[in-house]
């Protein structure tokens, strides 16, 4: 049995889709649906059962009666603007700690979601070498909650038994429910299509012109291909960046979107909200040599090809990975 926490969420549901494509449906979805629209990500997926995340952690503590071969732990609060530190510590850090300890004790494969937010403003680089973990300084509560488990894994020497994934800027189908945390591609598409204009944040760092802030954008299909390779090659363990290895600017994103819909680029730079300015990452780029050296053969699509596929295959048709 494969457990996918956050299985109704963005990356979780996409990986369940990938498992289904590989003929696997012996899957337990663990999530919390409440009033979110993410239930739509489950429509069309094949899985054995759904368990609320609170019930699942209770089952873990009572020693589950069913056999679990693998836990793919994608469940977390991923809002970089979340201000409830206690909630993040319980939901992101402690929950992951309990699952990892249980998986190791019960000889189950354990893959979990870390984040590029753990790197903070990037002053100490973006290397996924665990010997650098103590140098990292996250700049928001979300990043810190993710960083804490990476530190826990290092302190307790768990790397031979777990796989941690530092996701960079992931975008693509199945993110519709994330509201303010959706990718700019997802949020801007209706405006670009209707008004022929795209809004980007002004830069408040003299080193970057407006729209030239850079991120490592990776398409969800490339992400799940990397995850599937790791899932198949279970001897490969440790902490890894998941990005393309090449940073692109927000202007590049805008130009790729306009090109995909065959319209001229029209970009307006708007003020960044005050609450974001102190925790904004102006540059992220994922060194991918560690994962490549481990043997991962996945080659990521270009930003232009990814955005074109997203728009024409999903956004324009309101389609999901189901």
Q: What is the pLDDT of residues 118-176, one digit of tens each?
A: 999 999 999 999 999 999 999 999 999 999 999 999 999 999 999 999 999 999 999 99
From 119, 142, 189, 310, active-site residue? 142
User: Alpha-carbon distance 85 to 144, whole Å?
Assistant: 9
Strand partners, 114: 166
pLDDT band at 91 (very low <50, low <70, confident <90, very high): confident
Mean pLDDT, residues 15-44: 96
The answer to whether residue 189 is catalytic is no
Q: Residue 286: is its pLDDT beyond 80?
A: yes
Most confident of 10-14, 79-83, 272-276: 10-14
pLDDT at 275: 84
Q: What is the dihedral of CA 306, 216, 240, 151, to 10 degrees?
A: -140
From 146, 166, 178, 248, active-site residue? 178
Q: Taking Cα atoms as reference points, which of 3, 148, 31, 154 lies closest to residue 90?
A: 148
Percent of all residues in the chain with a pLDDT value above 70, rounded to a whole number: 99
Q: Residue 64: is its pLDDT beyond 90?
A: no
The pLDDT tens digits of the residues spanning 15-24 come to 999 999 999 9
Extents of the domains making up the chain? 2-171+217-246+283-301
Helices (H) and strands (E) in the chain, counts: 11, 13
pTM higher than 0.85 for the full model? yes
User: Angle 213-150-29 (CA atoms, 0-180°, nearest 5)?
Assistant: 90
Q: How many CB atoms lie within 10 A of CB 20?
A: 17
Strand partners, 72: 4, 111
pLDDT band at 65 (very low <50, low <70, confident <90, very high): low
Q: Residue 101: is its pLDDT beyond 90?
A: yes
The answer to whether residue 142 is catalytic is yes
How is domain 2-171+217-246+283-301 classified at the CATH fold level?
Rossmann fold (3.40.50)
User: Alpha-carbon distance 41 to 210, whole Å?
Assistant: 35
Q: Residue 63: is its pLDDT beyond 80?
A: no
The pLDDT tens digits of the residues spanning 226-279 come to 999 999 999 999 999 999 999 999 999 999 999 999 999 999 999 999 888 888
Which helix or strand (DSSP H or E) is residue 269 part of? strand 267-270
pLDDT at 180: 87
């Amino acid at each position: 049995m494969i457990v996918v926490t956050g299985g109704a969420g963005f990356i979780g549901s996409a990986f369940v889709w990938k498992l289904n494509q590989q003929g696997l449906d012996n899957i337990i979805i663990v999530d919390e649906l409440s009033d979110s629209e993410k239930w739509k990500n489950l429509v069309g997926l094949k899985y054995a059962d759904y368990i609320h995340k609170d019930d699942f952690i209770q089952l873990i503590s009572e020693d589950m009666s069913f056999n679990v071969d693998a836990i793919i732990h994608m469940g977390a609060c991923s809002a970089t603007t979340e201000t409830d530190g206690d909630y993040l510590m319980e939901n992101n850090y402690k929950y992951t700690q309990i699952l990892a300890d249980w998986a190791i004790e019960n000889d189950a494969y354990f893959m979990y979601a870390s984040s590029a937010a753990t790197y903070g403003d990037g002053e100490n680089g973006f290397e996924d070498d665990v010997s650098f973990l103590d140098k990292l300084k996250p700049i928001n509560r979300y990043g810190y909650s993710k960083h804490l488990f990476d530190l826990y894994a290092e302190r307790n020497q768990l790397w031979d038994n777990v796989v941690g994934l530092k996701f960079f800027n992931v975008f693509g189908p199945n993110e519709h429910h994330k509201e303010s945390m959706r990718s700019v591609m997802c949020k801007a598409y209706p405006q670009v299509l209707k008004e022929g204009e795209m809004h980007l944040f002004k830069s408040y760092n003299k080193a970057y012109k407006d729209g030239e802030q850079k991120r490592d954008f990776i398409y969800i299909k490339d992400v799940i291909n990397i995850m599937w390779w790791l899932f198949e090659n279970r001897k490969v363990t440790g902490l890894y960046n998941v990005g393309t290895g090449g940073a692109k600017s927000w202007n590049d994103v805008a130009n790729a979107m306009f090109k995909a819909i065959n319209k001229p680029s029209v970009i307006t730079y708007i003020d960044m909200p005050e609450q974001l300015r102190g925790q904004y990452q102006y540059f992220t780029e994922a060194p991918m040599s560690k994962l490549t050296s481990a043997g991962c053969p996945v080659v990521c699509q270009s930003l232009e090809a990814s955005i074109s596929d997203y728009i024409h295959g999903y956004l324009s048709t309101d389609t999901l990975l189901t």
